[in-house]
Amino acid sequence: MPTYEYVCQECGHQLTVEQKMSDARLRDCPACGKPGLERQLSAGGFALKGSGWYVTDFKGGSKASKAEEPATAPCAGGACACH
């Protein structure tokens, strides 16, 4: 379920709500009771408007291990009929 960030334009209260895409947006602020909530774009990896911080999300990393494939056995002299 996607998570939405709401910020109240009236009092600045922030909250995070899990909602389905089809759910109606919240409007009433639980802190001040006014219909001042504005939904932010998404959670994670974005700059919150007006608050001056941002999250940088690094995922994964470098894999240093290199798998060496076994060399194909060269033609073994005596038992091979190809020469």
On whether the CB atoms of residues 5 and 43 are closer than 8 A, the answer is yes
- The candidate with the shortest Cα–Cα distance to 31, out of 56, 11, 3, is 11
Q: Which stretch binds Zn ion (CB under 5 A): 16-24, 29-37, 51-59, 62-70?
A: 29-37
Nearest-approach distance from CB 37 to Zn ion, in angstroms: 7
Please, which residue, 32 or 41, has the CB nearer to Zn ion? 32
Q: Does the footprint of Zn ion cover residue 32 (CB under 5 A)? A: yes
By CB under 5 A, the count of residues binding Zn ion is 7
End-to-end alpha carbon distance in the chain: 66
Output DSSP code: residue 74: P
Among residues 17, 26, 31, 48, which is the contact residue for Zn ion, using CB under 5 A?
Answer: 31
